[in-house]
Structure 1
Amino acid sequence: EPLSGALGHVGKLRRDWTDRIPAWESGGAGRPPGEGGNKGASGTPQKYDPTFKGPIYNRGCTDIICCVFLLLAIVGYVAVGIIAWTHGDPRKVIYPTDSRGEFCGQKGTKNANKPYLFYFNIVKCASPLVLLEFQCPTPQICVEKCPDRYLTYLNARNSRDFEYYKQFCVPGFQNNKGVAEVLRDGDCPAVLTPSKPLARRCFPAIHAHKGVLMVGNETTYEDGHGSRKNITELVEGAKKANGVLEARQLAMRIFEDYTVSWYWIVIGLVIAMVMSLLFIILLRFLAGIMVWVMIVMVILVLGYGIFHCYMEYSRLRGEAGSDVSLVDLGFQTDFRVYLHLQQTWMAFMVILSILEVIIILLLIFLRKRILIAIALIKEASRAVGYVMCSMLYPLVTFFLLCLCIAYWASTAVFLSTSNEAVYKIFDDPACPLVGKTCNPETFPSSNESRLCPNARCQFAFYGGESGYHRALLGLQIFNVFMFFWLANFVLALGQVTLAGAFASYYWALRKPDDLPAFPLFSAFSRALRYHTGSLAFGALILAIVQTIRVMLEYLDQRLKAAENKFAKFLMICLKCCFWCLEKFIKFLNRNAYIMIAIYGTNFCTSARNAFFLLMRNIIRVAVLDKVTDFLFLLGKLLIVGSVGILAFFFFTHRIRIVQDTAPPLNYYWVPILVWTSG
C-alpha cells in the first residue's frame, strides 16, 4: 500500500496537472490538447511558462495563524495528558470490580487471592442496564475460583457441601438467618452452575452437543427455588454480560498469536516488500508486459480461489453439522468454526465469482484506456527509480501515526478511570427509586431503604453526575478531536512531502542532472518550514468533520431505543451527509496539498486552484485516474493473493517441507491478515 501510494503521486501529477504540461510534451505552444482558452466558471487555464523548473524555492510562510493554533492545541493536549495520568487509575480497567467497588485479584488488598468475579444471578444480566451502564443488577463478589458443580442453597444448607457453598456468599456471611431471609438479602446465590473464567469473570460453561445447548452435562438448571428452567434463559443472560468481554478475550488470543508468530510475521512482511520492490522495478522496464501478465495472473488467482471454495464445499457435503446456517450459528470467537460450514464456502465462492466477472467486464470496456494508463504507470515507476528513498518515507508516516494512536489511547484510558465509583439502587422492580444513586454506607438506615426494603445499594460504574464528570467528558471529546487533528496533519505532511519530491522529478528536463541532491528531504523541510500552518488548516477542517461523525455515532447508539421514526431518519441523513463531506474534503485536501508543494500558496488558494483545475479536466481525470487505480488494485491483488496463499499453506501446516516449522496458533488467520495487509 505505501509503495503503490508513492507510485501514485507522480501518476496524479501526470493526470491531474494537465494545465502545467510543457509544450514539448503536449505537442502545442500554449496549453494541453483539448483544453479551451476561454475563462469560464472553472477559471482560466494557466499558460505554459518555459522558465518554470518545478517546485519554487523562494516561498514564504502560509497560514501562520493556524500554525499558532496548532502549537497552542498541542500544549493543551499535553496538559490534558498530564491531568489524565495524575488522576487516572488503570486498575479500574485491568481488574473487575465487585458490588462494593473493590478490585478482584489486586495485590495488597483482601481480594488479592480472589481474581475472579462471580455473579449471583447471571440471568439478570439480560437487563438493559448492562448495555447502558455495563453493570448487572445482581450481587457480585470476588472468588478464588469459579464454581464447578450444580448446587442450590436449599440442598447445600444442610449438607457437607455448605462449606464449599459459603465461599460464594458475601464476605462475613453467618448462617444465622432463614433461607428466605438469606435469598432476600442477597447474602448467598440461590444456585451455583458450572462456570468457566472469561476475562476474569465467571460465566456458565455453556456448550453445544449435537445441536443441544448444555451447561456441564445438563440441558436445564435449577433456579434455586425448587423449579428447573431451560438453558436458553441462562444463555440470554450470559450473552448480555459477556458480549464485550468476549471481544476482550478475542483480543487477548490475537495478541498471544502475535507473540508466538511475530518473527514469521516479520519474514512475511519482508517477502511482501521484496515482491513489491521487484514489481516496481519490472514496471519500469516492462510496464506493458507486466500489466497484462498481472491482469492474467489476477484472473487465474481468483479462478483458483473459486475452484478451492468449490472443492471445500463439495468435501463438506454430507458431513454432520456442515449444513448449519450462519444466521443460526451466530457470532463465534473461534472463526475456525465457520470453515466447517458449507454456507461459508458457498459465500466465498459467490463473492469471488462476482469479483471475477466484474474484473473481466472492466477489462473489456476499458481496454483502450488501459494503454494510456500503462504509459502513466511506466513514467511513475521511472520516478520511483530516481527517488528511491520515497519508498522508505511511508515508514516515517507509520511511526508518527503510531505515536498519535498511543498517546490518544493512553490518555483515553487514564481519563476514563479518573472518575469516582458510582453506586445505584438495584434489584427491586417495584421500587420507584431503582437506578438512583445511593451511598452504600448509609443506605441500610436511609429513607430509600425503608421505601424499598428489598433493594440493594451496589456498585454501578465509574463516573459521576457532578461537574467533574462533565469536565472529563469534555476532555475526552478534546482528546478525540486532537487525535484526528494530529493524525490528519501527519498524513498531510506525507502527501506534501511525496508530491514535492515527485514534482522535482516531473519538471526536471535532464534526469537525473536537474534533480536536487535530496529531493525527498528538501520537500520535507519545505513543508515543515513554510507550510505547517496550511497543513494544520486542512487537517483541522477534516478533524472537525470526523469529530462530528463520532458524536453522531454516539448519539445514534444512545437513541437506538427511541421509537421516533423522524429522529431516526434525520440521524441517518446526517450521518450520510457528513460521510460524503468527509470523502470530498479528503479528495480536495489531497489535491490542495499537491498545489502547496509545487507553488507554495496558502491552503485556500491551493484548494481553489486545485478544484478549478479538476473541473476543467473532469472527464480526463476521472477516466484515467480510475483506470490507473484499477491497474494498481490488480497489482495489489496479485501480491496480496500470492502472499496470502503462501501464508495460508504455511500456517495451516500444508507445506510438507516445513510442516512442523509453523507455530501453533489460536487463529491462523491472524498472521495471514498481517502478511496480506503488509
Structure 2
Amino acid sequence: LPHHSFLSPSSLSPPPCLQSPPQVSPCPPRSCTDVICCALFLVFLAGYMVVGILAWLYGDPRQVVYPRNSTGPLGLRGDQASGAALPAVVGCMMPRDPGVRGGTVRPQHWGGALVVAEEWLGAWVARGTQASGQWFSLSSPPSGLLIAMLLSLLFLLLLRLVAGPLVWVLILGVLAVGAYGIYHCWCEYSSLRTAGASIKDVGFTTNLSVYSNVQETWLVALIVLAVVEGILLLLLIFLRKRILIAIALIKEASRAIAYMMSTLFYPLVTFLLLIICVAYWAMTALSNSSAPGCSSISGNETCNPMTFNASQYQPCEVVGCTFYAYNTEGLFQRNLFNLQVYNVVGLLWVANFALALGQCVLAGAFASFYWAREKPRDIPACALISSFLRTLRYHVGSLAFGALILTIVQLIRIILEYLDHKLKGAQNPFTRCLLCCLKCCFWCLEKFIKFLNRNAYIMIAIYGKNFCTSAKNAFKLLMRNIIRVVVLDKVTDLLLLFGKLLVVGGVGVLAFFFFSGRIPINDARFRSPSLNYYWLPILTVVVGAYLIAQGFFSVYSMCVDTLFLCFLEDLERNDGSVEKPYYMPTSLMRLLNKKNQKAEKK
C-alpha cells in the first residue's frame, strides 16, 4: 500500500498502545494532550462553581413560586411566612426631626427555604414509600422498562448470529416497499387516466388534497419511485461486497460486546453526569433570576424581624424592622445577565464534555478488543475501567477542546434562534431568508463537527495524540474510504432503526394491552390497575423503553464505528507479513482475499 504523508515510518506498525500482554508489542509512553485547553477548562469549572455559589447566596428560588407584595413579604402560609424570610432595615422616627434612618438590606430567606425544602423532601419520601410496594409488580412502568432492557440486550447479542440474514431482509424489505409504491402509483394513474382527470381541469389551487385526484400527480410519483428503486438496485449490485464487509463488522461488534458486557451499562454514567449538569444549570439559573438584591439607605444596620429589639434604638418615638426596597445597583445585580450567559455556556461545554468522555472511553475499550492478537486471551480484564482512567489521566484537554468547538457552534445557533424569534414580526423577506440560510448552514456545521469529533475521539483513544492531529488523521482516513463509510453508516442505521422499532413497538403494544385491561390475569398481585387514563403509564413506558434502547444501541453504534476505524488502520498499516500481520478477524480477511503469513519453524 502507498505510504501516506501524515504517517511517519515509525507509525506503520500496528497501534501497540492498547495491546495486552505488553510483550506482544511494547506500548509507547503516553503524555497529556492539549494541556492549555485542559487548564482553561479547569479554570472555567472553578468559575462555574463560583457562579453557582453566588447564585445560591444571593438568590431566593421561592420568588419564582410565591408572589411578593409591595412591602416585601412572600405570599406563604402562616407557618412558612417566618420573619426570617423578610428583607428588612431598621426604620426610626426621631422625636423632633421626622425621618427614617436605616441600614443595608440583606435577605434573610434561609429559614423559609429550609421549611420549603423540608416539605418537598417529606412529600417525596411519602410518595416513594407508597409506590415501593408496586415497584417490581407487572402493573408498574419499571417492569416495562426492564422488559425493554432485556429485549435490547437480546437483540444485540442475536446480531452475532442473525446479522447477515437480518440485514438482507431489511434491504429487500425496503426494495419491496418501493416496488409496492410503484404498483400503487400505476394503479391510481391508470384509473384517473381512464376517468379523464387532468391537471388542466384543476389549475392552481391552495387545496393540496385536490392534486391527489389528478393523473399527473401519480405519474410524477411513479417516475420518482421508479428512479429511486432503480438506483437502489444498482447500488445493491455494485456495493454487495462492501455490504458484506459491513455485516462482518456488525458481527464483530456483537462479539466485542459479548466479551465486554460492562460497556452496555456505561451510558448510565453519562446519563448521570448529564442529569447533574442540567440540575446544576437549572438551580443556578433559577437562583440568578430570583436574586433581586437589596437596597440601602444611610447607615449600615440590618435587622431580623424575629429578633428585633426596639429598646436599643432610643430616643426614637417609633421604631421598627421594616422592608425598604430592593437594590439594582450592586455589583452582583448589575452582572446578572452576564452570569446567566456564563451559566448557559457552562451547561453546553460541560454537557458536551460528558458526551465526549463517554465516546472516548468506549472507543478505548473496543479498540483494545480489536488490537488484541489472540481473542479473548489478550483482551484486557478491565478494559472499560482502564480506558476510563487512561482518558481522565491523559486526554481531558483534548476532550475539552472538541467540546469547546461544538459549544461555540451551538451558541451561534442559539443566538440565531433568538434573533429569529425577535424578528418574527419583521416584514423584510431578505432578513428572514438570510436567517434561514444561516440557521441551515450552522445546523449542518454542527452535524459535521459531531461526526468529526466522534472519529477524532476514537483516534485519541487508539493512539493518544492531540485533538487536531487525531481529527486530521481520522478525516483523511475516512475520505480515502468514503464509499465504505457511507455503506457501513447506512447499513448500521437501518439495522439499529429496526432494533429500536422492535423494542419500543413491542413494549408499547404490551403496555397498551396490559394497562387497558385486555390481558386477562386472575392473580390479583399481577392484575392491571383500574385507571381512568391508561395512556399516561403507556406513554411513560414507551418513552422509557426508547431511552433504554437508545442507550444500548448508542454503545453498539460506537463499537461499530471504532472497529471500522481500527479495520481501516489495520488495512493500511499492515500487509499480512510476519512483521506486520493483520489484526482483523478471519471473516474480513476472507472477504478481502487476504491472509497472514505464518512464521517459519526453525
Give the TM-score of the pair, scaled to structure 2.
0.60
Are 2:467 and 1:603 equivalent residues in the alignment? yes
Aligned letter for 1:49? S
- Alignment match of 1:49 (pick from 13, 30, 35): 13
Q: Deviations over 1:225-269 (max 9, x none)?
A: xxxxxxxxxxxxxxxxxxxxxxxxxxxxxx99x989976222112
Q: Which residue of 2 aligns with 1:554?
A: 418
Find the aligned partners of 1:639 and 1:365 in 2 and give their Cα distance.
32
- Alignment match of 1:83 (pick from 54, 58, 62): 54
Are 2:547 and 1:674 equivalent residues in the alignment? no
Q: Is the 8 A contact 1:498 1:523 kept in 2?
A: yes
Q: Deviations over 1:71-100 (max 9, x none)?
A: 111111110001111111111211245788
Q: Which residue of 2 aligns with 1:473?
A: 337
The DSSP-based 3-state class of the residue aligned with 1:551 is helix
Are 2:288 and 1:415 equivalent residues in the alignment? yes
Residue segments in structure 2 that go unaligned for 5+ positions in a row = 20-26, 84-126, 178-224, 296-325, 549-602
**1:671 positional shift:** 3.3
Give the TM-score of the pair, scaled to structure 1.
0.53
Q: Which residue of 1 aligns with 2:91?
A: none
Are 2:396 and 1:532 equivalent residues in the alignment? yes
Q: Is the 8 A contact 2:515 2:528 kept in 1?
A: no
Q: Is the 8 A contact 1:640 1:677 kept in 2?
A: no
Find the aligned partners of 1:505 and 1:90 in 2 and give their Cα distance.
50
Find the aligned partners of 2:174 and 2:515 in 1 and give their Cα distance.
23
| Distance 1:652-1:464 versus aligned 2 partners, 3 A rule | farther
Aligned letter for 2:264? M
| Distance 1:662-1:539 versus aligned 2 partners, 3 A rule | farther
**1:574 positional shift:** 2.4
Are 2:528 and 1:660 equivalent residues in the alignment? yes
Residue identity over aligned pairs, in percent, reads 54
Find the aligned partners of 1:467 and 1:552 in 2 and give their Cα distance.
30
| Distance 1:99-1:673 versus aligned 2 partners, 3 A rule | farther
| Distance 1:572-1:290 versus aligned 2 partners, 3 A rule | closer
Q: Is the 8 A contact 1:647 1:675 kept in 2?
A: no
Aligned letter for 2:343? N
Find the aligned partners of 2:430 and 2:15 in 1 and give their Cα distance.
60
Q: Which residue of 1 aligns with 2:105?
A: none
Find the aligned partners of 1:548 and 1:560 in 2 and give their Cα distance.
18
Find the aligned partners of 1:474 and 1:405 in 2 and give their Cα distance.
19
**1:546 positional shift:** 1.2
- Alignment match of 2:453 (pick from 577, 589, 596): 589
Q: Which is richer in strand?
A: 1
The DSSP-based 3-state class of the residue aligned with 1:510 is coil
The DSSP-based 3-state class of the residue aligned with 2:517 is coil
Q: Which residue of 1 aligns with 2:553?
A: none
Q: Which residue of 2 aligns with 1:378?
A: 251
Q: Which residue of 2 aligns with 1:519?
A: 383
**1:656 positional shift:** 2.7
**1:571 positional shift:** 2.3
- Alignment match of 1:70 (pick from 28, 34, 41): 41
Q: Which residue of 2 aligns with 1:628?
A: 492
The DSSP-based 3-state class of the residue aligned with 1:656 is coil
Find the aligned partners of 1:292 and 1:421 in 2 and give their Cα distance.
70
Q: Is the 8 A contact 1:297 1:638 kept in 2?
A: no
| Distance 1:525-1:677 versus aligned 2 partners, 3 A rule | closer
Q: Is the 8 A contact 1:653 1:660 kept in 2?
A: yes
Aligned letter for 2:66? Y
Q: Which residue of 2 aligns with 1:267?
A: 143
Are 2:353 and 1:489 equivalent residues in the alignment? yes
Find the aligned partners of 1:484 and 1:378 in 2 and give their Cα distance.
35
Find the aligned partners of 2:438 and 2:334 in 1 and give their Cα distance.
25
Residue correspondences, number: 404
| Distance 1:39-1:389 versus aligned 2 partners, 3 A rule | closer
The residue correspondences of 1:35-434 to structure 2 (distance < 5 A) are 37=2, 49=13, 52=16, 54=18, 56=27, 58-96=29-67, 103-107=74-78, 264-291=140-167, 368=240, 370-419=243-292
Find the aligned partners of 2:146 and 2:423 in 1 and give their Cα distance.
47
Aligned letter for 1:273? M
**1:666 positional shift:** 7.2
Find the aligned partners of 2:446 and 2:386 in 1 and give their Cα distance.
30
**1:572 positional shift:** 2.1
Q: Is the 8 A contact 1:283 1:381 kept in 2?
A: yes
**1:478 positional shift:** 0.6
Q: Deviations over 1:295-350 (max 9, x none)?
A: 8999999xxxxxxxxxxxxxxxxxxxxxxxxxxxxxxxxxxxxxxxxxxxxxxxxx
| Distance 1:497-1:270 versus aligned 2 partners, 3 A rule | same
Q: Is the 8 A contact 1:542 1:582 kept in 2?
A: yes
Find the aligned partners of 2:250 and 2:459 in 1 and give their Cα distance.
21
**1:565 positional shift:** 3.2
Q: Is the 8 A contact 2:508 2:541 kept in 1?
A: no
**1:601 positional shift:** 0.4
Q: Deviations over 1:543-591 (max 9, x none)?
A: 1211222222223222323333333333222222221221111111101
Q: Deviations over 1:404-449 (max 9, x none)?
A: 1111111111111113699xxxxxxxxxxxxxxxxxxxxxxxxxxx
The DSSP-based 3-state class of the residue aligned with 2:341 is helix
| Distance 1:73-1:660 versus aligned 2 partners, 3 A rule | same
Find the aligned partners of 1:111 and 1:557 in 2 and give their Cα distance.
42
Q: Deviations over 1:481-500 (max 9, x none)?
A: 01111111111111111111
The DSSP-based 3-state class of the residue aligned with 2:335 is helix
| Distance 1:95-1:51 versus aligned 2 partners, 3 A rule | closer
> Bigger relative contact order, structure 1 or 2, given CA contacts below 8 A and separation 6+?
2
Q: Which residue of 2 aligns with 1:27?
A: none
- Alignment match of 1:645 (pick from 493, 509, 513): 509
| Distance 1:558-1:104 versus aligned 2 partners, 3 A rule | farther
Aligned letter for 2:155? F
| Distance 1:370-1:649 versus aligned 2 partners, 3 A rule | farther
Q: Is the 8 A contact 2:34 2:397 kept in 1?
A: yes
| Distance 1:603-1:590 versus aligned 2 partners, 3 A rule | same
| Distance 1:46-1:652 versus aligned 2 partners, 3 A rule | farther
Q: Is the 8 A contact 2:60 2:287 kept in 1?
A: yes
